[in-house]
Structure formats: structure tokens, C-alpha cells
């Protein structure tokens, strides 16, 4: 599984850099020749479409509707290059456009997995991109990195390689600290490590190192090994598969992984609000893995409906869990703090059932 970003595929004007795409495809072809099945996740549709409309460089628009329209123009141009580059190696590419919704609805999730696995069985190289043109939400920061991690779980990948324009995650920003060095391995995440990732990347891309680290965390929590490495490094995909050390930042998978359902609750479904719980409920959810009851709720924030995803916070406002709530916001406010025996008839006993509740990765190591 390999993801390559916009900054690695386009020049400074946003035009597709065909030699860069060709090098990437050649590496994929080499792995295929060795018997590996590879899924490619690509960015670049928006950047590729901008020059066609004379909107490259400083003229790049910022509103989501225009960017979505531009992606429809750029996607076909991007795939034309992929088709030709893979054909040069006797391979067939298959375009697959996905969005977070495809991971949030179980039936669509199963359809997406079946399609990708069948393409691999047929010897096709799936080329996955976000379906920007018809996405419901605004085009989000680093979404294709997150998409790549979710797809890696979807197809049961052994390895996710996130290719970028830097050697990997560094100890500091090399633009300001000449002593910055490569972090070669990450076993677990903490706030200090994530802070090193910084913000967004280039003007042509939407991610940057922060989104790569976030995606690697998703992969780790789904049991997939991940590597952040430079797209410019010769043979980087082959070296990654061979386990060559020091070629980037390797993120080890967690021994205790999230199920597919809890993975999409945690990472693919947007939150519509927050529920604040008392200290007792906080401890019970973390230590015993129980359902959240109305008695433990001390605050409700936002406007959400039944079955929407919400974040769960401790009394200090720190988010430690996320789940699918069974009551809408007004109904939950009306019963917050009540014992189960005091609830009106017809009101669900569980605010969030334990099967729909997941401790987010920033929670304690013992959570599940």
C-alpha cells in the first residue's frame, strides 16, 4: 500500500510531473513483478486541474466549491498519466474514488472492500483518490493521508508507505534547526512527538507531516505497519517492503488493534457534538469498557441527532472517547444525570452502547 502526495507529483505551477509519476509507477511495477499486490493512493487532482483553468500558483482559489469543481477536471488528467505509465510496464490501472462516507456506512464499506480486493485478484493496480468533486464536506486537511490509512485497513495491508517530500519525521524543523535528525522508529505516540510534525505542507498539497503522522497513527491502531519516507529516494518502495532500516520513519503497529467498526467510528465519521461526563463515568469507561449511561453525563455540547458520532470528554474537557449516541442533543440534555431507573419510558438506557464506543488514541494505553 503506497500513498504519494501532490507535492511529489506536480511541479511548482501544479502541472503533473510525468517523470515523477513514471518513477512511482515503475516501483509499483517492480513490486508486482516480485509477487506483491499493491494499492496506490494518490493526491494531485486539484493541483492538476488548476493550470487548465489558468488558476495555478498565486491564483489558486480557496473556496471549497471551486476546488471541488477543479478536482473533476484534474482527476481525468491525473489518471491519464497513471494509465500510460502503468501500461508501459504491462499493467492495468483501475480508478477508485472514495470518501469518508464510504467508511461510515457498513454496506458501502463492504462494497468498497469487495471492489478493491477483486481488482487485486484481477491483477489490476487500484489507484485510489478521494472523491473530492462530490464530497459532502469541505476538502479537508490531509484527508488523503487518512484515506490511505483507512484503505490499508480495508484491504488488510501488511505495510502502508506514505511518500512525501521529506526524509520522514525529524526531531525538529530543519529550516530553523540544523541539528534536526531523522526519527527512525516510533513504537507509541505522545503529544510531544505529534507536536514535532508541525503544520501543513506546500501550497500545492493539503497535508504536511502532521497529516502523515495522524495517518500513521490510524494505521498503527488498525494493526498495519507504516513508513513515512521521501518519494525522491530511489527504490524506496522496494526498500520499504524489504525492511531496510533508516530509509524513513517506521511506525510499528499496536499489539491491540481496533476492530473495523471502531476504526471508522474513531477516524472516518465526523463528530457532531460533545458529551461531558463526570469522573466516575470517565473511570468506568476507561477501566471497565462499559456503556455510557445518562447518570454519568454532566454536559451536552452541540446539535446532534440520534446515531450521530460525538466526542466524549472528561470533566476537564479532554476528549478521551468517541461514539455513536442513541439520543439527540435535546433529549440527552433532558435526562442528563438521571439514573436508569428514573428514565422515562421509551428512552434508551445506554447513551452510547459499548459496542459503539471507542477510546481514542490519545486515551490511556490500557483503553480499548
Tens digit of pLDDT for each residue in 305-339?
A: 999 999 999 999 999 999 999 999 999 999 999 99
Domains with residue ranges and CATH for the chain: 2-261 (3.40.1160.10), 270-359 (2.30.130.10)
CA distance 71 to 52: 11
Q: What is the pLDDT of residue 211?
A: 81
CA distance 338 to 291: 15
pLDDT in tens, 257-309: 787 778 878 877 788 999 999 999 999 999 999 999 999 999 999 999 999 99
Residue 259's alpha-carbon distances to 177, 266, 306, in angstroms, are: 40, 10, 22
DSSP class of residue 165 equals S
**Helices within the chain (DSSP H only):** 6-9, 18-33, 45-49, 64-87, 101-104, 106-121, 143-154, 191-195, 209-221, 236-242, 260-267, 279-288, 329-335
User: Taking the model in full, what pTM does it have?
Assistant: 0.82
User: Of the segments 16-20, 152-156, 188-192, 238-242, which one has the largest average pLDDT value?
Assistant: 238-242
Residue 239: its pLDDT value, please?
98
Q: What is the tens place of the pLDDT at every residue in 186-221?
A: 988 766 676 666 644 444 444 578 888 888 988 998
Q: Is the pLDDT of residue 94 over 50?
A: yes
Asked whether 173 and 180 are in contact (CB, 8 A), the reply is yes
Amino acid at each position: 500500500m503506497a500513498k504519494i502526495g501532490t507535492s511529489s507529483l506536480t511541479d511548482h505551477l501544479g502541472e503533473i510531473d510525468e517523470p515523477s509519476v513514471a518513477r512511482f509507477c515503475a516501483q509499483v511495477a517492480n513490486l508486482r513483478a516480485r509477487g506483491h499486490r499493491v494499492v496506490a493512493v494518490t493526491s494531485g487532482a486539484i493541483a492538476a486541474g488548476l493550470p487548465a483553468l489558468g488558476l495555478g500558483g498565486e491564483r489558486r482559489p480557496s473556496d471549497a466549491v471551486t476546488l471541488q469543481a477543479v478536482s473533476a477536471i484534474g482527476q481525468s488528467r491525473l489518471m491519464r498519466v497513471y494509465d500510460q505509465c502503468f501500461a508501459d510496464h504491462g499493467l492495468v490501472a483501475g480508478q477508485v474514488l472514495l470518501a469518508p462516507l464510504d467508511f461510515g456506512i457498513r454496506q458501502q464499506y463492504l462494497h468498497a472492500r469487495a471492489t478493491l480486493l477483486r481488482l487485486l485478484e484481477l491483477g489490476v493496480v487500484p489507484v485510489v483518490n478521494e472523491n473530492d468533486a462530490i464530497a459532502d464536506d469541505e476538502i479537508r486537511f490531509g484527508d488523503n493521508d487518512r484515506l490511505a490509512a483507512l484503505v490499508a485497513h480495508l484491504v488488510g495491508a501488511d505495510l502502508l508507505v506514505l511518500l512525501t517530500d521529506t526524509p520522514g519525521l525529524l526531531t525538529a524543523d530543519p529550516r530553523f534547526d540544523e541539528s534536526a535528525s531523522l526519527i527512525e522508529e516510533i513504537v507509541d505516540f505522545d503529544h510531544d512527538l505529534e507536536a514535532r510534525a508541525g503544520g501543513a505542507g506546500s501550497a500545492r498539497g493539503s497535508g504536511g507531516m502532521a497529516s502523515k503522522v495522524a495517518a500513521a497513527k490510524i494505521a498503527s491502531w488498525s494493526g498495519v505497519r507504516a513508513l513515512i519516507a521521501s518519494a525522491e529516494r530511489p527504490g524506496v518502495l522496494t526498500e520499504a517492503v524489504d525492511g531496510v532500516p533508516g530509509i524513513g520513519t517506521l511506525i510499528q503497529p499496536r499489539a491491540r488493534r481496533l476492530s473495523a467498526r471502531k476504526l471508522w467510528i474513531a477516524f472516518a465519521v465526523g463528530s457532531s457534538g460533545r458529551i461531558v461526563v463526570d469522573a466516575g463515568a470517565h473511570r468506568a469507561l476507561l477501566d471497565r469498557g462499559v456503556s455510557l449511561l445518562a447518570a454519568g453525563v454532566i454536559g451536552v455540547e452541540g446539535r446532534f441527532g440520534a446515531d450521530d458520532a460525538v466526542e466524549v470528554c472528561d470533566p476537564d474537557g479532554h476528549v478521551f472517547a468517541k461514539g455513536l449516541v442513541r439520543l439527540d442533543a435535546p433529549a440527552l440534555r433532558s435526562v442528563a444525570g438521571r439514573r436508569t431507573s428514573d428514565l422515562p419510558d421509551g428512552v434508551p438506557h445506554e447513551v452510547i452502547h459499548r459496542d459503539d464506543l471507542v477510546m481514542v488514541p490519545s486515551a490511556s494505553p490500557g483503553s480499548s
